Structure formats: C-alpha cells, structure tokens
C-alpha cells in the first residue's frame, strides 16, 4: 500500500511552483560546481562527481536528486570548463538541468587565486498530475500535464581560494522564468511556476591539528525569495589523508552525519544521513534523508596529487 500523503505532496509541489527551490545537498563541499561555475577546473585535475540524494525516505513523492558533473582545467591557460546534469523529482514534477560552465582564474598573491565563472544551459520541466490522488478530478488546473517545457538558465559565480581557505558567491540561474503561463480561459487555467533567483555563499578553512588530523569547518548560505533563509554549518575531520567524518546542522531544519573515504589518489566515496529537527522528522513514514557521492579524478602519474585536496 502506498504511503502517499496527498496534502504533503500537494503542499510541497505548490511550494516548488511558487518559490522554486534548487536541489539541496548535504555534501555540497565536494561538488561546488553544481552551484558555482567559478569552481570549474579549480581542483587542478579533471574531476568527475556523481551524487544521489533521497530526501524524506518513506514519504511517497518525496524529493530525489541525481547529479553528474565533470570539470577540468585547460592546459597552459587560466581557463576551466565543466558540464553538469541534474535531475530533481518531487511529487508529480520531474526537472532536469543541463549546464555548461566556464571559469577564468587570476593569481592574487603567492598562493591565492580568484576565479570568475559563467554558467549557461537549459531547464526541462515535466509534471504528471496523474501521480496525485486528486480530490476533484474535474479541477481544470490539474487536467493537463506539462511535457518537456524548456527554459534557459544563465548563472554567475566568484570563487577565491588558497591552499587552506576558500569563499564563494554564486547564482546558478539569474533568470526568473515562468515555466508555463496562465490560460486566458479561466475554465482551463493552470498554475504558474516560476524559477526564482537563488543566491549561494560558501566558505571553509582547513586547520592542521597535527601531522595526521585535519579539521575543516565550512558553511553554506542559500537565499531565495519566498522561502526561508537556509544556513548549513559543517565540521569535518580528515584522518591520515584517507578517512573523513563529520557533522552538520541545517538551521531550524536538520542535523546530518557525514563520512567519506579516499579509496585511492583518484577515487573518493562519501555518505550523508539527515534527520529533520522539524515536526516532519517525527512523521511515521519519514526515515530521514540519504546522500551518496563518488568522485573520480583523472591525472597522469607524473601529475599525481601527493596530498588529496580537502576541498
């Protein structure tokens, strides 16, 4: 028997339509290119990252997100290029983002670098109202599905870093777009979905506690009109350049446990589990949120990274 809570799904979907929220990540620090194009190429090697997130597991229609990204520096230049694909599902809505990233980096000190980024792509929206248990089957607003509705995306970003510190500011999409318009005939009027402008701020620092342990506090702030301010505070410890363990707090929303393992110089795997601190966390069918990522990096043996970057 499906554990479909119609009111929850409809409310979540209505919120997505009126104050569109970009996908949420607990392990954002390992794949910043999804939100900040200026990060493209900044690891110094070609990097591929795949991530899957299942949010509020047990609730039918709850958000699920998959991302796949690739970015690399261009040899003998200050340019970085990247490509990201994001699929985000919630209730009857299925959204896909495909974006290309360009960055240009300039030195601003002996070890500091400042990067400027540009993101451009498309957003594809599908809505299948047949997935809802509709109270009024004759409601004209829910009578016609949305199929492959396209809209452009354009984003900008800044990213400053040294070997220990980073700070970023970005907006993955500066265009506020109506995904589908209201029909003049009120008998068949549909919802209006708007892609709202999102602003992201990120910051982090790496401390050497001793020869074998590093500590990195990090933070993320997300702002979007029509939705509460989101603040994530994270603390990670890296042991022997291999094993990472940490915790995070999403202000007035959730607590998170994080673990990661550097399998080899080229490959890292990570896992996060969120537990809501709101009333939703006490829902009988809510088993929390799970996130898994895998990063693979390509480099020649003579370019081998001696100490894997913590960010």
Distance CA 174, CA 181 (A): 19
61 band by pLDDT with thresholds 50, 70 and 90: confident
Residue 278: which CATH number? 2.40.160.40
Instruction: For residue 47, give every residue at least 6 positions away whose Cβ sits within 8 Å of its Cβ, in sequence order, or none.
Output: 70, 71, 72, 295, 296, 297, 298
Q: Is residue 199 part of a domain?
A: no
Residue 189, pLDDT > 60, answer no
The per-residue pLDDT for 178 is 60
Q: Examine residue 190 and state whether it is found in any structural domain, yes or no.
A: no
pTM: 0.84
- Does the residue 150 lie in any domain? yes
pLDDT tops 50 at residue 238: yes
Domain contains 53: yes
Distance between CA atoms of residues 18 and 264, nearest Å = 44
In a domain, 88, yes or no: yes
> How many domains does one find in the chain?
1
Q: With a cut of 80, say whether residue 248 has pLDDT above it.
A: yes
**Residue 170, in any domain of the structure:** yes
Burial profile 115-134: b = 16 or more Cβ within 10 angstroms, e = fewer? bbbbbebebbbebebebbee
Task: Quote the domain boundaries for residue 94.
Answer: 6-137+145-184+205-303
* Bridge partners, residue 82, by sequence: 71, 101
Is residue 148 exposed (0-12), middle (13-18) or buried (19+ Cβ within 10 Å)? exposed
Say if 193 falls within a structural domain.
no
Given this model, what pLDDT does residue 306 score?
A: 40
Q: Are 148 and 124 in contact (CB under 8 A)?
A: yes
pLDDT recorded at residue 305: 47
Interval 74-96: pLDDT, tens: 989 999 999 999 999 988 889 99
| Mean pLDDT of all residues belonging to the chain | 83
Q: What is the mean pLDDT of residues 21-35?
A: 87
């Amino acid at each position: 028997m499906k554990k479909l809570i119609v009111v929850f799904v409809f409310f979540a979907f209505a919120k997505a339509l009126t104050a569109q929220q970009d996908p949420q990540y607990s392990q954002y620090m390992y794949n910043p290119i999804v939100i900040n194009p200026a990060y493209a190429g900044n690891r110094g090697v070609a990097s591929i990252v795949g991530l899957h997130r299942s949010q509020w597991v047990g609730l039918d229609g709850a958000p699920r997100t998959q991302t796949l990204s690739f970015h690399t520096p261009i040899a003998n230049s200050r340019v970085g290029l990247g490509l990201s694909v994001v699929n985000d599902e919630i209730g009857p809505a299925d959204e896909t983002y495909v974006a290309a990233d360009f960055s240009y980096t300039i030195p601003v000190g002996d070890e500091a670098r400042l990067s400027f980024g540009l993101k451009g792509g498309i957003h594809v929206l599908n809505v299948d109202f047949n997935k809802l248990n509709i109270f009024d089957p004759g409601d004209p607003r829910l009578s016609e599905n949305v199929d492959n509705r396209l809209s452009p995306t354009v984003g900008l970003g800044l990213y400053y870093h040294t070997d220990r510190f980073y700070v970023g500011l970005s907006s993955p999409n500066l265009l506020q777009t109506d995904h589908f318009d209201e029909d003049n005939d009120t008998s068949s009027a549909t919802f209006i979905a708007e892609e709202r402008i999102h602003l992201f701020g990120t910051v982090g620092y790496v401390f050497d506690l001793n020869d074998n342990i590093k500590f990195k506090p990090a933070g993320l702030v997300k702002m979007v009109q029509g939705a509460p301010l989101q603040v994530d505070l994270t603390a990670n410890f890296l042991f022997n350049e291999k094993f990472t363990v940490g915790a995070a707090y999403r202000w007035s929303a959730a607590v998170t446990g994080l673990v990661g393992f550097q399998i080899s110089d080229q490959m890292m795997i990570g896992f996060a589990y969120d537990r809501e601190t709101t009333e939703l966390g006490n829902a009988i069918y809510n088993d929390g949120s799970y996130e898994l990522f895998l990063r693979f990096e390509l480099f020649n043996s003579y370019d081998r990274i001696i100490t894997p970057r913590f960010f």
